[in-house]
Structure formats: C-alpha cells, structure tokens
Structure 1
Amino acid sequence: MRLFAAIAVFLVPLLLVPTTSEAHGPTRQKVTLTTSVPAAPADVWAVIGNFQDMSWHPAVFSSTGEGGNAIDATRVLTLGEASGPTISEVLYKFSDEKMSYSYRITDVKVEVLPVTNYSSHLTVKPGKDGGSLIEWRGAFYRGYPNNDPPENLNDEAAIAAVSGVYKAGLDALNERFSGN
C-alpha cells in the first residue's frame, strides 16, 4: 500500500500537466504561389529585383528605404495611400545571379497583416518558351501567438492574408508582362 501511495504522489501531478495535444501553440505556416509570364527572366528581374522599389505591387502606395540591395537593407512600404498603414522589412539574402532575394518583416500591425515572424523569398526562374516563372513564398506564424486565437488572427486568416498579398502582386506582374 505504501508503494502505491508513493507512486501516486509522483504520478498524480504528471496527470495534471497538459499534454502536447492539449497545450498547442501556433505552428509555422507556409505559402508558395507562382505565375508564368511571357517575358524574359532578365526583363522581369529588372522590374522586381530592386528591394527598394515595390511599386509593381498594386497595394503599395510608396516604398522608401536605405541600403539598396545590400544585406541588411531596409524598406518601409506604405499601403494604399500616403497616410496608409506601413510594413517595415529588412533584406537578408540577395542574388542578382540567381534573380532572388529574401526578406523579413521587422514591424507590422496584425490589423494590417495578421502574421508574426514573417519571412519571404521572391525569385524569377526561366520558364517555357523564353518566358519566366515567378515564385513568391513565405513562412510565418499567425498574428495571435497564444492558444484559441480570434478568427481574424488565426492560422486561416494569416494564410488567406499572405496568399492575397502574393496573388495581387503576381496578378499585377502577369498583367504587366502579358499585356492583358
């Protein structure tokens, strides 16, 4: 009986600790979207390859920054209008040769983009018949880091928002290079 009591003293507290299935925080989400355009990769890269200039994206009203395309360059995107919300970003990889760059968001309100710890990669690759394949991918956590997030800050909201940003940008590039 004493052995049972001694075991119970050690096991009962363990039963009260939530298991990993009960105490689950956010998981890293990923989104990758691509589009093909009938333009040479160098022509596409000439439009999107400058980290400081994101004027090709329809949601961006203005883009300002420092450092050009050097690692640790920064930019601030103003969305919609001159007094619109902003997103601050930093460049952490850049290759003219590979026609790609990677950046992360350093400051954004979750009401603007419901994500945290966001990083992204934009690249242009040779496509069919001399065209290009543009790939935009990102990884991030939802905007609410704790359990039971509100609907506007859950995983689905984060995925939908990032997908919407990528789709709008890729659609604009497709229209620009396809002449539609």
Structure 2
Amino acid sequence: MTHPPSPTRRLCLIGLALAAVSGAATAHGPTRQKVTETIAINAPAAAVWARIKDFSALQAWHPAVQASPADKGNEIGSVRQLTLKGGGALTETLEAWDDAGMKYTYRAKDGGALPVTNYTSTIRVTEDAGKATVEWRGAFYRGYPNNNPPPDQNDEAAVAAVTGVYQSGLANLKKLVEGK
C-alpha cells in the first residue's frame, strides 16, 4: 500500500517542478543556426572542383561577389577580403583545404555584410555516376547576440541571408559549368 506524499514533500516536488519550468522559460540568447544547400551538376566532380577550389576566386562563380583576393591562396590561414557587387564586405579565413577530398572550410571574422556572428562554412564536391553534387553548409549565430533582436538581426534574417548566398552561388555555378 502506498501513502500519499506528505505536505512538505508535495511542496518540495511542486517547487522543483516550478524551478524546472521557470529555468526553461528564462533561458536566453541565440541558438546556433545551420543551413545546408546542395545542387546536382551534370559534369564530373573534378571539373566542378576545378571551378571552385581557388579560395581567392569566389568572384569567378558567385554572382554577388565583385572581388575575393586571398593573401595566401589555398594555404591554411589565408585571409580573403570579399567585396560584394551591391556594396558591403566580408573577411574570411581559410580553416581547412582538402584538394583530394574536394572541400574547404572557412570562417568569417565577423558577419560583415551578413547578419551573422561566429560563421563557419564548408563547401564540398562529390561525384556519383559521373555527376557532381555540391554541398555548401554553414553554422552561425544571428547577428544580434542579445534577447529581442531587431528583425534584420534575428535568427530568421540570418538563416534567410545565408540561404540566399548559398542558393544564388550554387545556381550560378551550375549554369557556368553546364553552359546553360
């Protein structure tokens, strides 16, 4: 036979439950956002990789980039200064570069023209049956790190901006490689 909890025990249980709920309700700050975009390109992966592997030549395939010089090319630690066609700039550092694996990873110093912070991204080319798949993935926090961000610095704005960058770049890459 079980006995109901004592009034003291019941109050303790209620207090613990309230503390757990209120702790969750007062949690604050941004959560890490992630974006992954992929595109299939009707060309060998090596041909696609040849088009995008130069860390200092993003302007050769991304329609929003006017210039992207990198101080050390594809060497780890190389810093590229992106100038955007519509105005704005970004500074990115090459974190990893793998020619055999057809991928590289870079980190933005700050959000620059994007409403993000702590932004890291990897672009990778793989092949399946003679066709390339390009995956561009990134992880970041919104541009405004505190509670109640303005609309242009919130999670939705950050995700939309990065998604737009990836989609426009991949669509243009496909067009350039396939010649359509």
Pairwise TM-score range, normalised by the shorter structure: 0.7 to 0.9
SS in 2 for 1:107: coil
Partner of 1:63: 68
**CA contact under 8 A between 2:110 and 2:116: conserved in structure 1?**
no
Q: Which residue of 2 aligns with 1:163?
A: 163
CA distance in 2, matches of 1:119, 1:137: 9
Match of 1:101 in 2: 104
Structure 2 equivalent of residue 122 of structure 1? 123
Distance 2:111 2:151 in 1: 18
SS in 1 for 2:109: strand
Give 1:25's aligned residue.
29
Alignment-mate amino acid for residue 58 of structure 1: P
Measure how far apart 1:64 and its partner are.
1.2
Contact 2:111–2:143 (CA<8 Å) still a contact in 1?
no
Alignment correspondent of 1:85 = 88
| Aligned-residue identity in percent | 49
CA contact (8 A) 1:72 1:92 kept: yes
1:41 matched to 2:45? The reply is yes
- Give the superposition deviation at 1:105: 0.2
Task: Flag as ranges the 4+ runs of structure 1 deviating above 6 A.
Answer: none
Counterpart amino acid of residue 79 in structure 1: L
Structure 2 unaligned regions, length at least 5: 1-7, 9-14
Counterpart amino acid of 1:86?
A
> 1:49-94 deviations in whole A, cap 9, x for unaligned?
011110210000011121111111110010006xx31100000111
1:76 partnered with 2:70? no
Q: Deviations over 1:11-50 (max 9, x none)?
A: 9xx97xx623223210000000000001111111111001
Q: CA deviation at 1:150?
A: 1.0
Amino acid at match of 2:41: V
**What amino acid is the match of 1:65?**
A
Distance 1:86 1:70, change over 3 A: same
Classify the secondary structure of the residue corresponding to 1:104. Answer: strand
Normalising by structure 1, we get a TM-score of 0.85
Code of the residue aligned with 2:34 in structure 1: it is K
- SS where residue 64 of structure 1 aligns? coil
The separation in 1 between residues aligned to 2:153 and 2:123, in whole angstroms, is 25
Write the distance in 1 (CA, Å) between the matches of 2:115 and 2:172.
Answer: 23
Q: 2: CA distance between counterparts of 1:150 and 1:23?
A: 19
The one-letter amino acid of 2:52's match is I
- Greater mean deviation of Cα atoms: 132-141 or 168-177: 168-177
Which residue identity lines up with residue 179 of structure 1 in the other structure?
Answer: G
Correspondent of 1:53 among 54, 57, 64:
57
Give, in whole Å, the separation in 2 of the partners of 1:21 and 1:39: 51
